[in-house]
Amino acid sequence: MPAAPATPRPPISARTIPLFPLASTLFPEGRLPLQIFEVRYLDMIGKCIAEGSGFGVVALTAGSEVRRPGQSERFVGVGTMARIKEWSTPSPGLMRVACLGDERFRILQAEQQKHGLWTAQVEMMEADRAVTIPEELGNTAQALDNLLQSVLRQGLPESEVPIAAPYRLDDCGWVANRWAEMMPITVELKQSLLALDNPVLRLELVQDALDELGWLK
């Protein structure tokens, strides 16, 4: 009698994390303000704060951020870890959280728990290598610098500036990620940018998208 096939083992580098499916894409070093009121996420954030851990943000492709009866959630296979920087509880059952994007990850297997929270076995992806922006892509950095300076002149508190310091306007990956967060493009395009391991190619695609939007001079 043939032996039963062995259950596939996850890669040694795999780990299990809680997921927060959202109608947006989080990029490394991107700001993420959240207002939490669902029990599944209040519990999740409370545990993350107590343990000093993060959670995974993935973009929804079906369903909504707030759980509804009879509605299923589907989401992309590549996401970004979120680190909790600040939190407050302005009223019972409500929590405000300020997060910052961290490592990217690829989902190996996802499962929804009884109370609705998604967890997943994930494999962490490599961080972008630092690459100086080539001359032919310099207009993307200049346009971002112009936008950032106009925001900073408003005198907003640092926590309310949509782009978090430090500002690395000479780095391909950083500039590409900041534009990818802000551009009104499809979830599919945002995800393809997030999944790219080549920061120069990511910035080239961002430049094409900015040209189409008429955001570059």
Q: What is the pLDDT of residues 82-95, one digit of tens each?
A: 999 999 999 989 99
129: its two tokens: 């290598």
List alpha helices for the chain, DSSP H. 39-51, 138-152, 172-182, 187-195, 199-213
* Euclidean distance between the first and the last CA atom of the chain, given in angstroms as a whole number: 71
Mean pLDDT of 13-35: 94
CB atoms within 10 A of CB 178: 25
**pTM higher than 0.85:** yes
Residue 53 pLDDT grade (very low, low, confident, very high; cuts 50, 70, 90): very high
Q: What is the pLDDT of residues 162-202, one digit of tens each?
A: 999 999 999 999 999 999 999 999 999 999 999 999 999 99
How far apart, in Å, are the Cα atoms of 190 and each of 61, 117, 174, 180? 12, 24, 14, 6
